[in-house]
């Protein structure tokens, strides 16, 4: 079992930055790929970014030049640095752990409770 706890969400203005963190506990962190997903009101959950256990990354096109995913295997944490935030980035952001770095939500076995990010114009 892997527990995931997100933090770092909040209310910011357009153009601001936020850094989300996901702390994990349980089984060996390094065996898992980690992903970030988001869900806006009335919309389906969508892929944001993923990082493999080896550090390879993949991003959704709309965030590719603004967001950076990273992991600290020693601290068993994964982060999402979000720059130049836009109103359309407003959503609940979820951290997830799985055995492969997938863009599909069904590729992940464990999920956090989510953290709200609101970007105000």
Q: What is the pLDDT at residue 1? A: 81
What's the pLDDT at 114? 98
Question: Which distant-in-sequence residues (6+ apart) come within 8 Å of 79 by Cβ?
Answer: 19, 20, 21, 22, 69, 70, 71, 72
**Residues β-bridged to residue 34:** 51, 97
Supply the pLDDT for residue 30: 83
The pLDDT assigned to 44 comes to 97
Which residues does the chain have with pLDDT short of 50?
none
Distances (CA, A) of 26 to 2, 21, 46, 77, 88: 5, 17, 26, 12, 34
- Taking the C-alpha atoms of residue 79 and residue 38, their distance in angstroms, rounded to an integer, is 14
């Amino acid at each position: 079992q892997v527990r995931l706890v997100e933090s770092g969400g909040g209310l910011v203005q357009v153009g601001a930055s936020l850094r989300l963190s996901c702390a994990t506990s349980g089984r060996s962190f390094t065996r898992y790929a980690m992903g970030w997903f988001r869900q806006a009101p009335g919309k389906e959950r969508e892929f944001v970014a993923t990082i493999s256990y080896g550090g390879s990354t993949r991003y959704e096109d709309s965030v590719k030049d603004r967001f950076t995913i990273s992991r600290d295997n020693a601290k068993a944490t994964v982060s999402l640095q979000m720059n130049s935030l836009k109103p359309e980035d407003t959503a609940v952001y979820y951290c997830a752990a799985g055995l492969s770095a997938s863009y599909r939500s069904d590729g992940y076995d464990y999920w956090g409770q989510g953290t709200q990010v609101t970007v105000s114009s």
